[in-house]
Amino acid sequence: LDQEAKQAAELHQAQLTKPPGSLGMLESLVVDLAAMQGTVFPRCDNVHISIFAADHGVACQGVSAFPQDVTAQMVLNFAQGGAAVAVLAKQMGANFEVINLGTVKPTMHPGIINQIIAEQSGDISQTAAMTEEQLLQGLQAGKQAVDRAIALKSKLFIAGEMGIANTTSATALLASLLELNAEDVTGPGTGVSGSRLEHKASIVAQALTLHQGINDPFELLRCLGGFEIVAMCGAYIRAAEKGLPVLVDGFISSASALLACKVNPEVRKWLLFGHCSAEPFHSKVLQELDVEPILMMGMRLGEGSGAAMAVSILRAACELHSSMATFSDAGVSNSGE
């Protein structure tokens, strides 16, 4: 982080025609961005959104409200511009790409990058999610997405995900990392409730029992992750290495983010968090990461949609910072003068 740019941005904020602190989070966000982008006047004009999709073997356990085919169907829907995050990406003029890391039904479309690792990850309640080689392939796919973002001179990176049953995987990863019980943290995901939610929690518990005692974050990812969760983790690690600010989305993305921070605590400095999901476990995870999310609007869609919603807030923060008058410019008396 660039401490000089950060201090210069703080000094500039203090001169703008408003009571100090009265723009709340808009002030801290722009100062954080200044430190990350290494400039007094950061911008979020050129946003890069990479959506990683993959199928999960654990879907066969009936943990989702939707059939597994929906992963591949939604990959197409992203590419065709019909999914929520695709609509938001278009509205904000972002670079938008969709990476299929492996779905049971293949997807062919000029807008899809097919980097197939396998047709799905292993059922984490019965076996490891993937091999070491598959783990490395997933991390590499994330790294490559960030490198593409940098080549396109993006100033902000968003990773999104799609994968039926991936809240099961993320819940298992986070419960393992935070040493919590499956029954206490398993949530509805796409919308399971009642006995189906209890069943989902029991599958998470089974996965935790099978893969207990793992401390290494990469080994956790290998056993309990999914290809898209691994790729986002790889992307966050790479973004921090290259100094590209990241806007994290919701629950699944936060699992990747927490794992990336376990791999390298420096990653945390490069992360902003777009929103707090309605998935109940998310707020606990944000607390663990010491995060104040930008938005709290009860969203729980994933896909990067919550982060995409927060881009307009960051852009406004940047615009206020660069375009508001200072007390001296405007001839406005400051407090105490």
Enumerate the active-site residues. Answer: 303
Report whether 330 contacts 188 (CB < 8 A): no
Distant-in-sequence, close-in-space partners of 50: CB < 8 Å, separation ≥ 6: 97, 99, 142, 145, 146, 148, 149, 157, 158, 159, 160, 235
Candidates 131, 50, 126, 75; CA nearest to 118 is 131
Can you tell me whether residue 282 is helix, strand or coil? Answer: helix
For residues 290 and 235, give the distance between their C-alpha atoms in angstroms, rounded to a whole number: 21
Min CB(51)–a copy of itself separation in Å: 14
Q: Which is nearer to a copy of itself, 195 or 335 (CB)?
A: 335
CB of 39: closest distance to a copy of itself in angstroms? 19
Q: Which residues of 160-191 are buried (b: 16+ CB within 10 A; e: fewer)?
A: bbbbbbbbbbbbbbbbbbeebebeebbbbbbe
Per CB under 8 A, residues contacting a copy of itself are: 16-26, 65-67, 69-70, 73-74, 76-77, 80-84, 87-88, 90-91, 190-191, 278, 294-301, 305, 309, 312-313, 315-316, 319-320, 323-325, 329-337
CB 64 within 8 A of CB 190: yes
Residue from 149, 152, 71 nearest 116 by CA: 71
Q: State the nearest-atom distance from the C-beta of 204 to a copy of itself, in Å.
A: 19
Select 12 or 222, whichever has its Cβ closest to a copy of itself.
12
Smallest gap from Cβ 308 to a copy of itself, in A, equals 8
What's the closest the beta carbon of residue 191 comes to a copy of itself, in angstroms? Answer: 5
189 within 8 A of 245, measured Cβ to Cβ: no
- Eight-class DSSP state of 179: T
Tell me whether residue 176 or residue 254 sits nearer to a copy of itself (CB atom): 254
Whichever of 147 and 319 has its CB closer to a copy of itself, that residue is 319
- 53 vs 237 by CB, closer to a copy of itself: 53
Give whichever of 209 and 326 is closer to a copy of itself, judged by the CB atom: 326
Task: Give the shortest CB-28-to-a copy of itself separation in angstroms.
Answer: 9
> Of the candidates 236, 227, 315, which has an alpha carbon nearest to the alpha carbon of residue 33?
315
Q: Which residues contact 70 (CB under 8 A, 6 or more apart)?
A: 164
| Residue found by looking up tokens 């003029």 in the block | 93
